[in-house]
Structures are given as structure tokens and as C-alpha cells.
Amino acid sequence: MKSFFDQGWQISIYSNGDKAIDQTLASYTKLLAGSAKPQDRRLRIEHFTINNESQVKQAAKLGVIPSFTIGHVDYWGSAFSNYIVGADRAKRIDPASRRL
């Protein structure tokens, strides 16, 4: 990832779930720490699903641009809640719909 970042590429990582988001944010933190001009890059996290408040804040601090699965929430919401991740984690699917 660093070689592409150093060449000016925009990096985007698909991170669906809190553990994946932790790994992505850790990688981005390391990547930005070694960059002379980190503000010149737009790092993204695709989906950013089932995150927690500290991850939202860390992404904002790093200047990471999250994308959200807004259409998925309506369609898959009950499946996430009832069968896949449980009600508590399902509430964290879309941070754009809640206040921090």
C-alpha cells in the first residue's frame, strides 16, 4: 500500500466489521505517519459497517473518508439484527444515522 500511496494513488479498503475497521485504521495511521504530505491523499474505507464511536472519531481525526451501506440497512437490517451480528452490533451498521 505504501508504494502506491507514495506515487499519489488514492487508497480505498473494504472494511466491513469492527475488527476489519481496526486493522484498516491502524494501517492508515502507520501510512500517514510516514508521509510528508498526508493531506494530499484521500484515504477511504468502503462500507465502514458495524463500527464503534472511537473508530468514527479516529477516522475523522485521520481525515479518512468513510462510505456507508445506506441501502443495505433497509434491505438487510432485520437479517443483520436477527441472524448475522445481533441487535446490539446491528445498531452500529450506519454511523451516518446516529449522533455521536
How much of the chain, in percent, has pLDDT values that exceed 90? 34
CA 1 – CA 72 distance, rounded (Å): 28
Please give the grid coordinates belonging to residue 90: 446491528
Ranges of the chain with pLDDT below 50:
100
pLDDT of residue 72: 63
Output the pLDDT for position 53: 87
Q: Is the pTM of this model over 0.75?
A: yes
Q: Using CA atoms, how far apart are residues 79 and 30, in angstroms rounded to an integer?
A: 35
Distance CA 53, CA 55 (A): 5
In the CATH scheme, what is the code of domain 8-97?
Answer: 3.40.50
